[in-house]
A and B are shown apart, each in its own frame.
Chain A
């Protein structure tokens, strides 16, 4: 039982490059989330998905797209990376009691 897994753990991009952050959970949770964590800003919700096939914008969705193709996986895509997207990205899933389980994070640097 791996919980929530994220790949990659680290990534460096040049401005304008694209990439997809992968997230998977093996707990059969319906809801999944993407947050970014920046110093002094806490965790800010980018997108969330209440169930397979549905997605909703969070607090800071601009510059990102998401895809929830199945119940296990929820990916986050940066189409054209910008230095302002340098951050640590956390994926999470939520159980029926509303407890969120977080992945280990992806540290992204955009130069």
Chain B
């Protein structure tokens, strides 16, 4: 069965610092990968997704993620974070175009002004 691991449960950064959140998945076949964000008091919204092609995916709000198949990883990055990036971030995976989408446990990001 597919599973998703997010290694950082809680990250605290200062504004302008660079961000990298880890995500690893367990399924060995073709996968679709997602990063979602949940701002305080809001519901989840999509940051970016990977299906195929260029392994470096750019999303909204300056976020990007890199798919490294050999490492089963899909880490989220942002060169310079802002206070407004304070939120919880979730990695998700599905087998190739399968409807079953599984989420990781989330990483709570706190940006100090």
Contact = CB atoms under 8 A, between A and B. Distances in A.
Given A40-B9, A104-B43, A105-B43, A99 B49 contact: yes
Contact of A99 (B9, B46, B106): B46
Given A90-B44, A103-B43, A98 B94 contact: yes
B103 A43 contact: yes
Contact of A90 (B9, B32, B43, B105): B43
Q: Could you tell me the dominant secondary structure of chain B's interface residues?
A: loop
Contacts of A97: 49
What's the interface size class on B, roughly?
Answer: 20 to 34
Contacts of B49: 97-99
Interface centre among B43, B51, B105 (most CB of A within 10 A): B43
Given A99-B49, A104-B43, A44 B94 contact: no
Contacts of A58: 100
19 contacts: A33-B101, A40-B9, A43-B44, A43-B90, A45-B101, A45-B103, A48-B101, A59-B102, A90-B43, A92-B44, A94-B99, A98-B34, A98-B94, A100-B34, A100-B46, A100-B101, A102-B44, A102-B45, A103-B43
